Structure formats: C-alpha cells, structure tokens
Structure 1
C-alpha cells in the first residue's frame, strides 16, 4: 500500500519513531509540513503533490485548527484518512466542542483514527467511519533505567490549556495535602530521567474521557500509575485493571486512600509497576502501533460523495 503521510514539522513531542513504525508497514511517503504549508494545503498539493490519486491512502496528522479552515479542499482529496489524537475535545467543554463532529460530517467518506475507545464509538453513532487506535509512547527513548525513585509522588506535564482545567484543579488540591511534585521538563533525556525518579505518577485526565499519553509514558518508565478513571469502556479497551497494572481513582479521597495502602505495602506497589510496564511494552509502544495504524487504514474506504448545499455550508464553518 502506497501512503502519503503528512505530519506537523513543529511539535512539542518527539514522534519520529512513531512515524517510522508506520512507514515500516507500508510504502510510505512521509512529509513534514510547516505551519505555513498546513495553512495552505491547496497550495502545497498544487506544488508538491500534483497527482494525489497515485496514493492508495493520504493520511493526515496535522493541526486540526488549520484543517478546520480548509474543509472544501480537504474533502476533495482521494483515499483520505485522518489520524487525530485530540478528538476527545469534541465532547468536553472547550473551544472545539462539537467542531470535530461538524468537520467529519462535511466529509462522510473519510476514515478517522482516534485515540479513545469511547470517542470512536460516539463518532460512529454520528455516522463517522471512526476507528480506535490508542496513544502510545516512544519505546526508542523511554524505559525503566532502574534508578533510585527519590520522588515519591509526581506529575510531569502541562496545566495551561482550558482542556486541562480539571487536571490543574485536582493536582493543585492534591499538592495541598500530599508531597506532590508538579514539574515540566524538556523532551528527551531530561524527561526520561525525571520519570525514572518518580515512584507514583499521578495521571489526572479529569473530564477528558480518555487517557493522555503521559499515562503510557509513566508506565513504560516503571512508575506506579495512579490515573483518573475514564470508565469501563476505556479501561477494557486498554487492558487497564485497577490494583493490577494501574491504580484507578474517581476522587481525591479515593486517590489518597489507595496511596496510603500502597505506602504500607511496597511489594504490591512494585508488582503493579512491573505489570504496568509490561502492558505498556506489549500494547502501547510506538514500535507496535505502526502496524495497528496500517491495519486500520487498509480496508476499503467509503465512496466519496459530491458536496451538496449542506456540505458547502459546512465547508465555511472554520472561516
């Protein structure tokens, strides 16, 4: 299968290994687009992809904000698949609430790979050709180094976005009553070293409906993952089992209660950490996810339909 894979050139997280894993399972023409190129996809294709029909699939992993303004052109691309890790924002209060649904309805032939099982189901119920492929972690960079874990309780990541308001509140409340380190690091070795110093990592994806990438990265580095429970559907899809390979909580009190129990039973805590690391290596390593992505985009796509009045109207939604 010949795939044109367009990705963002400027990105906070390092995804080169993820892209290489996808490319290893197909004939992949991988291209890194600048902000300016993403903002003018019609111009980019005119200059750099004069025959898009030569590709069996065109896979987009670009900034949704920029795609939203270019619906009319994007829907004209043949054999189109979208890879989207932020579609959970469609279903939570934020600036993108409902916008993913409207965008995908404007191009009903597109296949969409999303990173939440519940998000995939809800989009499917709206008529979208949505498929679940989980987020993962960079197994070429992140692993358990066997270091002394001198940070008992920690979180590494951003609190700035409106979508992270629940996360920010929970972590700040926890820090008032427990010795929680909240920090940010640079990608790469500093991040790896910091995760390897944390014994209990607090995932606080409150109100998001799916688990963010931090959870899988912490598991891979041997932390005991305490993570806000996103519900049975998500846990079943990922293989998360409370007290077995992760620790799930629904409130600050429940988190503290389970933390106190593990403090008194370090052997159980170590067992959870080992099981979580094994699950991450088996199910969420970028080296494995590439094959899942290619398997998801391989089956026949829906036939494209000519745009009617509603689709032309929706094509202006981002303007």
Structure 2
C-alpha cells in the first residue's frame, strides 16, 4: 500500500508514535503541516501527486479541513481521522451539526471517530464511519513509581464551553473533597503530575466518549474514577471494578471514593489491571496498527457511489 499521510503540528495529544508504527506497516509518506499549510492542502493533494498513492490519511483539525470540501470530495481512498467529532452533537459547541454537513459532502471518504456512540449516530446518517478509541503515547506516558502524594487530582482544561459539564461536576466535588485541579505542559511535567496522583477524577460529562487523559492517567498507574459514558465502556473493553471505577452522579462518586479509601489492596489491584489494559490495548503503537487495518480495507470506487451521493458532493458542498 502506498500511503500519503498529512498530519498537524502542533498537535495535542501527539500521535507521532502511531504514525511511525503505521509507516512501518505501509509504504507511507508523512507530511507534518503547520497551521498555514493545513489551511491549504491543495499542493499535497494535486492530481499529479495523488497518482503515487493508493490511500490518503488526513489527521488535520476540523476547523481547517471544513472549508476544503470541494478539494477533498474528488479524492479516492480518503480516510479522515477525527478526535473531536463529539462536538457534532454538543449543544454548547459552535460546531454542532457541522461535522455531519462536511462528511456528507465527501461521499468517497471514510471517517474514523473516537467515540462509539458518536460513530453510531453518524452511521445512522448513512456515513461510512468507524470507531477507534483514543489512546496514549507509551514513549512519554508511563508509570515511574513515584510517591503518590496527591490523593484526588484532575489535570486538564475546564474553561471551554464544551467542558461545562466537566467544570460543574469538579467544582461541586471540590466543595466536599480535597480535589486538586491541576495544569501541566505536555511532556515530562504532565507525566510526573499524573504519577503523583492516587485517584484521577475524570469528569467527561456530556461528551459521550472517553478523552485521552483517562488512558494517560491509567498508564501512569492512577486509579481512574470515570463518569459513565454508556456504550463506550463495552466498546472499549473497560470493566467497572476491574480496570477503573465508574460513577453517574456526585453522590455515587463520593460513595465509591469512600470505599476506595477503605480498601487499599483492591485499589492497587484495579489500578494495576487498568494500567496493563491500556498498555496492551490503547497505546499509540496499537493505534497505528488499527489505522493500517482500516486503510487496508477495500474502498468503493467513485463509479460505485450512488448518483445522489456524487451530485451532492459536486453541487451541494
């Protein structure tokens, strides 16, 4: 397989490890694009360039792809990897509905999203969508065996409108428990803070999928307390009380925290099982292999697409 990969820099989280693994499996040419280059993909996707490739993988932020539908609609073998498609269904997001409109303009493309429920909703809109969960980079995120001097911690953003539910729950918890809301730059500082946290409090309320920080915390040996997402846990393979602790309300979270404080041996067992689970299933090398598997599947030729799909792509973008 001859593969063209266009990815973004800067990118958080960085999936370079996944793309390097993918390049070992496919004959890949990878271009890391700055913001200006991302906004104009035409030099990389000109017909004279595309004849060299069987597949094209785009890992570029939606806000820079969405205005290039006319260009992308004519590309065969196109796979888009998207980590923010949950915003398609968030009332608080300025991108609500925009992902659906964009994907409908690309009848020959396949889409990978990082939420099982999001994938299901997009498939109901007759879009070709696959679910792959987010993961973590084992080169920068790992258990260092440090003293866990922060009992309850959360590391990440709460200011965005999309994270309104997260902020509300964490603020309520902090009124009753010694929760520390922390920030850290990607890299060593972030890993070291995760390694100091005993119980990582995840609050992905209303997002419908698991953010990468859940798996990063597990990989660093934290016991993850995660807000239930419904079908996501089964789709990923996460089991409550075996890999992590789930909750659906503040009262349930506090009750399960009380149990954890009284059962240190069980806590160690669950945290270790969670670490081993993500190490085995959700590290970025595995993501690279799963991307290769998706890219290796047969692609419908444009001649096999319905008349209306081709009409929509050409005239209704």
* TM-score normalised by structure 1 residue count: 0.94
Tell me if 1:131 matches 2:133. no
Structure 1 residue 313, shift from structure 2 partner: 5.2
Q: Distance between the aligned counterparts of 1:308 and 1:52, measured in 2? A: 20
3-state DSSP of counterpart to 1:54? coil
Q: Distance between the aligned counterparts of 1:17 and 1:267, measured in 2? A: 34
3-state DSSP of counterpart to 2:25? coil
Structure 1 residue 311, shift from structure 2 partner: 3.3
Structure 1 residue 247, shift from structure 2 partner: 0.5
Deviations 1:221-252 (A, max 9, x none): 00000011001x21111111111111111111
- The 8 Å contact of residues 102 and 314 in structure 1, kept in 2 or not, is answered as no
- The 8 Å contact of residues 107 and 313 in structure 2, kept in 1 or not, is answered as no
What residue number does 1:171 align with?
170
3-state DSSP of counterpart to 1:269? helix
- The 8 Å contact of residues 105 and 128 in structure 1, kept in 2 or not, is answered as yes
3-state DSSP of counterpart to 1:218? helix
Structure 1 residue 160, shift from structure 2 partner: 2.1
Give runs of aligned pairs for residues 265-280 of structure 1, distance below 5 A.
265-280=263-278
What residue number does 1:290 align with?
288
Q: Which moved more, 1:208-217 or 1:6-15?
A: 6-15
Q: Distance between the aligned counterparts of 1:79 and 1:15, measured in 2? A: 21
Q: Kindly tell me the number of residue pairs found equivalent between the two proteins.
A: 312
Where in structure 1 do 4 or more consecutive aligned residues deviate above 3 Å?
A: 43-46, 305-314
- The 8 Å contact of residues 156 and 185 in structure 1, kept in 2 or not, is answered as yes
Q: Distance between the aligned counterparts of 1:309 and 1:56, measured in 2? A: 24
What residue number does 2:98 align with?
99
3-state DSSP of counterpart to 2:129? strand
What residue number does 1:198 align with?
197
Q: Distance between the aligned counterparts of 1:309 and 1:141, measured in 2? A: 46
Deviations 1:196-215 (A, max 9, x none): 00000011100000000000
- The 8 Å contact of residues 135 and 284 in structure 1, kept in 2 or not, is answered as yes
Structure 1 residue 44, shift from structure 2 partner: 4.5
* TM-score normalised by structure 2 residue count: 0.94
Q: Distance between the aligned counterparts of 2:2 and 2:165, measured in 1? A: 42
Q: Which moved more, 1:12-21 or 1:32-41?
A: 12-21
- The 8 Å contact of residues 116 and 210 in structure 1, kept in 2 or not, is answered as yes
Q: Distance between the aligned counterparts of 1:198 and 1:81, measured in 2? A: 37
What residue number does 1:242 align with?
240
Q: Distance between the aligned counterparts of 2:151 and 2:36, measured in 1? A: 44
Structure 1 residue 158, shift from structure 2 partner: 1.0
Tell me if 1:24 matches 2:14. no
Structure 1 residue 34, shift from structure 2 partner: 1.3
Q: Distance between the aligned counterparts of 1:301 and 1:309, measured in 2? A: 19
Q: Which runs of 5+ in 1 are unaligned?
A: none
CA RMSD of aligned residues (A): 1.5
The verdict on how the C-alpha distance between 1:313 and 1:99 changes in structure 2, with shifts beyond 3 A counting, is: farther
Give runs of aligned pairs for residues 85-124 of structure 1, distance below 5 A.
85-93=83-91, 94-124=93-123
Structure 1 residue 123, shift from structure 2 partner: 1.4
Q: Distance between the aligned counterparts of 1:22 and 1:261, measured in 2? A: 42
